[in-house]
Amino acid sequence: MPMLDAVESSTNGDSLDGPDQSTDSPPDARDLPSLMLSSCYPITLRFFDVCYRMKIEKRHKGGGSSNIRRILGHGPTQSNQTPTAMVQERMILNGITGMVSPGEILAILGPSGSGKSTLLNALAGRLQGRGFTGTVVANNKKLSKQTSKRTGFVTQDDILYPHLTVRETLIFCSLLRLPKSLSKKEKTSVVESVISELGLKKCENTIIGNSFIRGVSGGERKRVNIAHEMLINPSLLILDEPTSGLDSTAAHRLVLTLGSLAQKGKTIVTSMHQPSSRVYQMFNSVLVLSEGRCLYFGKGSEAMAYFESVGFSLSP
Ligand SMILES: Nc1ncnc2c1ncn2[C@@H]1O[C@H](COP(=O)(O)OP(=O)(O)OP(=O)(O)O)[C@@H](O)[C@H]1O
C-alpha cells in the first residue's frame, strides 16, 4: 500500500526507486496518519518522445444516417448492410518530451482535443497497447506497480455518491483504500487530516449532490475529488482539468492548494484549459500542446518570450 510503503521506506531505509527518506527512529503509531500525509516519497517524472497512434473508424458520408435508420429499425441489419466505415490511423500524441520534479507543478496546456488527457494517461502508465511508444520513467526507472501505487489520478469526470456527505464519502473511501493494518480510528484520522488539508472543513457534513439534489459547490466537489486521491498520500498527483467549470477565484484557490501540496514534496502534473494569469504564474513549468505536438516546454515565465522570438507575439 502506498502510504505504508512510504512509511516503511522511511523506517527501514529501503529505497525502491528514489532517494532515501529514512529517519532513524520508527514512527510513533499515534502520529501515523499525520506522518503519512506529511511525508512522501519523492518522484521525478521524465518522459521522452511519447507518441500515441490510434485507429479511428471513419464513416463515409451517409454512414451516420444509415446507423440512425438501423437503430430505429428502418435500415439494413448487420448481415445485409454495405460497409460504411474505414479505419484510419491518427496520431494523437507526437513526440512529447518533458519532465517534472518533486515540489513542482507542470501544467499541460492546449485547446480542446489537443491531447492533454491522453498525455496525462500516458504519464500515469494508463496507456497501453501497440499505439503507444516512447518512454516514461519515474526516478529513472520504468513505471512499476510501486509507482502506480504512489500515483493519484484525478479524472475529469468524477464518480461520487450524491447522497453521501463529504466526510462520509472520504471515510467510505478510506475504509476501502487504506491498508488493513490501519485501525478504523487511524483511517478516520487520515480523513480528518485530508479534510483540513483540502479546506473542506466547512462543508464536511454537506451531501455531495448532483444535478437533481443540491449539494456542495463545484469547487468543493473538485476538492473532494482531490481529497479522494490524497487519502493514499500520493507522491505523484495527476489531475485532468481540475478547474474546469470553476470561476476564476475558485480556480485560483484550488491551484493555491495544489501549490501547497507541491511544497510538501509532491510532484504535480495538471492539465488546464484556460488558466487566468494569476493561476498561470503558479506553474513551475508548462507544456503547450497543439494537435498532439509540443509547441513549448519550459518555464511558464519564459513562454511569452519564446513565442515572441518565433514570431507569435501575444496580446496582453
Ligand atoms: N478513444 C478514442 N477514440 C477516438 N478518438 C479519440 C479517443 N481518445 C482520444 N481521441 C481523440 O484524441 C484527441 C485528443 O483527445 P484528448 O481527450 O486527449 O484531448 P484533450 O486535449 O484532453 O481535450 P479536452 O480539453 O476537450 O478534454 C481528440 O481529438 C480525441 O477526439
Q: What is the DSSP letter of 60?
A: P
Which residue's CA is the nearest one to ligand 1's atom 20?
A: 113
**Contacts (Cβ under 8 Å, ≥6 apart) of 123:** 45, 47, 136, 238, 269
Work out whether strand 105-109 and strand 285-290 pair parallel, antiparallel, or are unpaired: parallel
Which residue's CA is the nearest one to ligand 1's atom 14?
A: 115
Is 158 a residue whose pLDDT tops 70? Answer: yes
112 CB under 6 A from ligand 1?
yes
Q: How far is the CA of 289 from the centre of ligand 1 (A)?
A: 12
Cell reading at 85: 466505415
- Name the percent of the chain lying above pLDDT 90: 44
Q: What is the mean pLDDT of residues 214-226?
A: 89
148 CB under 6 A from ligand 1?
no
Radius of gyration of the chain (CA): 22
Identify the burial level of 95 via C-beta atoms within 10 angstroms of its C-beta, where 0-12 means exposed, 13-18 middle and 19 or more buried: middle
Beta strand ranges found along 75-131 (DSSP E): 85-100, 105-109
For residue range 45-98, list pLDDT tens digits in order: 999 999 999 887 766 655 556 666 666 666 555 555 555 567 788 889 999 999
Secondary structure of residue 288 in the 3-state scheme: strand
Cα distance between residue 167 and residue 159, in whole Å: 16
ipTM higher than threshold 0.85 = yes
**Sign (positive/negative) of CA torsion 29, 33, 34, 36?**
positive
**Contacts (Cβ under 8 Å, ≥6 apart) of 50:** 93, 95, 96, 97, 119, 122, 132, 133, 134, 135, 136
Q: What is the DSSP letter of 316?
A: -
CA angle 272, 278, 284 (to 5 degrees): 65
193 CB under 6 A from ligand 1?
no
Could you tell me which of 136, 95, 64 has the C-alpha nearest to residue 289?
A: 95
98 CB under 6 A from ligand 1?
no
Looking at residue 33, its pLDDT comes to 54
Looking at residue 29, its pLDDT comes to 42
Cell reading at 261: 501540496
Cell reading at 300: 511558464
Domain ranges of the chain: 45-310
115 CB under 6 A from ligand 1?
yes
116 CB under 6 A from ligand 1?
yes
Q: How confident is the model at residue 27 (pLDDT cuts 50, 70, 90)?
A: very low
Contact call for residues 85 and 60 (beta carbons, < 8 A): yes
Q: Which atom of ligand 1 is nearest to the CA of 56?
A: 4
Cα distance between residue 255 and residue 183, in whole Å: 32
Contact call for residues 11 and 31 (beta carbons, < 8 A): no
Mean pLDDT score across all residues of the chain: 81
Q: How confident is the model at residue 211 (pLDDT cuts 50, 70, 90)?
A: confident
For residue range 134-148, list pLDDT tens digits in order: 999 999 999 888 888
Which residue's CA is the nearest one to ligand 1's atom 31?
A: 113
25 CB under 6 A from ligand 1?
no
Decide if domain 45-310 falls under CATH 3.40.50.300. Answer: yes
Q: Which amino acid is at 122?
A: A
Cell reading at 50: 511519447
For residue range 251-303, list pLDDT tens digits in order: 898 899 899 889 989 999 999 988 998 999 999 999 999 999 999 999 988 98
